[in-house]
Amino acid sequence: MSVGMDFTLEGFTYIYGLPEHADSFALKPTKEKTDPYRLYNLDVFEYETANPMALYGAVPFMIAHSEDRTAALLWLNPSETWVDVEAPAGGVLSSVVDFVSNKKHENRRETHWFSETGVIDVFFMLGPKPKDVARQYALLTGTTPLPPLFSLAYHQCRWNYNDQDDVRSVDAGFDEHDIPYDVIWLDIEHTDGKRYFTWDPVKFSKPEDMIRNLTAKGRRMVTIIDPHIKRDANYHVHSEASAKGYYIKDKTGSDFEGWCWPGSSSYLDFFNPEVRDYWASKFALDQYKGSTEQLFTWNDMNEPSVFNGPEVTMQKDCKHVGDLEHRDVHNLYGMMFHGSTYEGHLRRSQGKLRPFVLARSFFAGSQRYGAIWTGDNMAAWDHLRVAIPMLLSLSVSGITFVGADVGGFFGNPDHEMVARWYQMAAYQPFFRGHAHHDSKRREPWLFDEKVNTIVRDQIRMRYSMLPLWYTLFYENEQNGQPPMRPVWWDFTDDRESFALDDSHLVGDRLLVRPVLTQGATSVEIYFPGKNTVWYDFLTHQKFAGGIKLTQAVTLSSIPVFQRGGSILFTKERIRRCSALQAKDPYTITVALDKDSTFANGTVYIDDELSFDYRSGGLIYAIAEYNNGVLSYQLLKGPGNFKTPAWVERIVIVGLLKLPLMIKDGDRLLQFSKSEQTITIRKPSFHMDSAWSVKFHY
């Protein structure tokens, strides 16, 4: 039996959420204009933009925001769901109603929810602020576990790197061209005939040696493992699953057979706890031959994708454990698969090391198992532009470790598009270059020298920013706040920001406005917050908040600004991967507020890989500038964790008056100064202990 319900959002004209759709961030009215927003997980390659069509994942979560308050609802139903959004049109009757109720008719949205099966199970989050909604939703569906640091760095992927020599060559190419990266990925061709948990015996004859060579340099590898299982009596996963009755059944009660990459395939029933346990066991080193603890996993095609099925997925009358029809749980299948893989990684290290698992299909709560990407996008400017609203929609819906394939999966981006995409993606949570096998090779050094330099600089910038991303993801696990967030998240009463699709924040510290159109020589930038100032991240030029400006850009530039009143921790030394930054010193950039009296910011440090931080092995600290005193205090830790990291440089921007001296107790600190900026070099402070300095005027 189908179920439905209507919800009127009084006092709201901006609503967001309902991922996944390649459309604007703010949800558009659909009633009598287009199809409703459809939530039904499907394998849709080369998907259309500006369209409410269903894509790879579904989160039936909607968040409404106004200058006064924020609220949200979760329609907890994993069957096919449609949501109509209506902006009521005014009329004589509505005007009378508005007058009597003292409410403006246009300041509301009416939404109509319909699901094919299931029950009405609705949760409301009443805010009143975005951060409150995020905390409330996190209590309901969970948060993203702190990722291992390497997974926040740069990933290089292609369908497919051909063999071990190809992997070795690409790895060496990054070193030769001084471009850092952390993870190289292998697509389906690395297997023995599309049999997952195997290796092609000719092309990848010594997988452990290949992985260990990468590990010796501080790098990792990811291989793809999909939910379809090749029907081959000589393939151990199939023979075991078939013998144990672990496959989804068709309507006759026989094992369901569909067509996917291996040809004839069957699909494991991840709603069966015994199957989930079995799948997790396959990641043990003695089961996945040729693997090591530094091999991680990519779960693709988990909608599930069935090439010869209706809409390229499974028939709705297929049966799961307990005689459950697939139509009842379709949108949940991908998450159950993702979670089983995550559990396998946990078991592999006896729960000591943090897993990294990327998946394509998702539902509310998928954030508990790792990263999500936006699927098979295209090398097209509209796909570049839509990445921001798609990732924002996911982020405010609790799925925060997200990214889009850099350069577009299908097609061949020109040099300008490559430059602009790397500039944009360097400030998004999951940062991976990926391409189809029919696309030209895209290793950064294959582009002209100018674009190669731009890409190298942007990847290096990402590595310098890793302390920020790591801190934001630690805070995200604690309180649900999205690392990549809409501008209105921290400027809740700034109505000009409510419809922004071309800008976003990184935490509460950076405003990013990528260049999103071909041939652009300038961009329009809105600086939020009437009582806020912003500083160009590279030049420290100051901009007032609450205004819109047009700024000239070149191919090499992306406008990024640090919020006045914030403190940023970065690492500036160039390394070939994140593991080699562990002992590097920090640069602290203090961007003072409008009155030049205050700024603060947090930093998080741990061993970058294990769960020891959950038992006290961490440093979580706050730096604060307050009326001429800059202090650094530990909020948590260090417990049994020690770090040799120290402070190499402190930069303070936005000073209305430059100090005569700066002292650490009785010790004078040396500093240089320029207009409204000072730099303290090698102040000899350590990151695992408190310190403070005083500015004398």
Distance CA 404, CA 116 (A): 30
Cis peptide bond upstream of 389, omega within 30: no
Contact of 581 with 466, CB cutoff 8 Å? yes
Nearest-10 Cα torsion for 567, 569, 574, 579: -160
The secondary structure of the chain in percent helix, strand, coil, rounded to multiples of 5, reads 25, 30, 45
Contact of 553 with 502, CB cutoff 8 Å? no
What is the DSSP code string of 651-689?
A: EEE--SS--SEEEETTEEPPEEEETTEEEEEEEEEETTS
Contact of 313 with 41, CB cutoff 8 Å? yes
For 8, counting Cβ atoms within 10 Å of its Cβ (0-12 exposed, 13-18 middle, 19+ buried), the class is exposed
User: One of 303, 494, 502, 593 is an active-site residue; which one?
Assistant: 303
Within 10 Å of residue 310's Cβ, how many Cβ atoms? 10
32 in active site:
no
Within 10 Å of residue 160's Cβ, how many Cβ atoms? 18
User: One of 20, 182, 226, 300 is an active-site residue; which one?
Assistant: 300
Beta bridge partners of 536: 561
Reported as type and span, the H/E element at residue 131 is helix 130-141
**CB-based contacts of 639, cutoff 8 Å, min separation 6:** 615, 616, 617, 618
Nearest-10 Cα torsion for 450, 380, 52, 433: -50
Distance CA 643, CA 635 (A): 16
Strands of the 263-267 sheet, one edge to the other = 228-230, 263-267, 258-260
376 in active site:
yes
Distance CA 263, CA 270 (A): 21
Beta bridge partners of 623: 601, 632
Contact of 27 with 393, CB cutoff 8 Å? no
Residue 141 φ then ψ, to 5°? -115, -5
Q: What angle do CA 298, 304, 310 make, to 5 degrees?
A: 150
Using DSSP, state whether 338 is helix, strand or coil.
Answer: helix
Distance CA 55, CA 302 (A): 12
Distance CA 645, CA 178 (A): 23
Burial 639-675 (b: 16+ CB within 10 A, else e): eebebebbbbbbbbbbbeeebeebebeeeebebeeee
Using DSSP, state whether 242 is helix, strand or coil.
Answer: helix
452 secondary structure, DSSP code: H
What's the sign of the alpha-carbon dihedral 140, 356, 504, 50?
negative
Nearest to 166 by CA among 198, 200, 196, 194: 200
232 in active site:
no
Residue 438 φ then ψ, to 5°? -85, -10
Using DSSP, state whether 511 is helix, strand or coil.
Answer: strand
Nearest to 293 by CA among 91, 145, 196, 150: 150
User: One of 187, 269, 376, 593 is an active-site residue; which one?
Assistant: 376
Q: Could you give the residue numbers annotated as active site?
A: 300, 303, 376
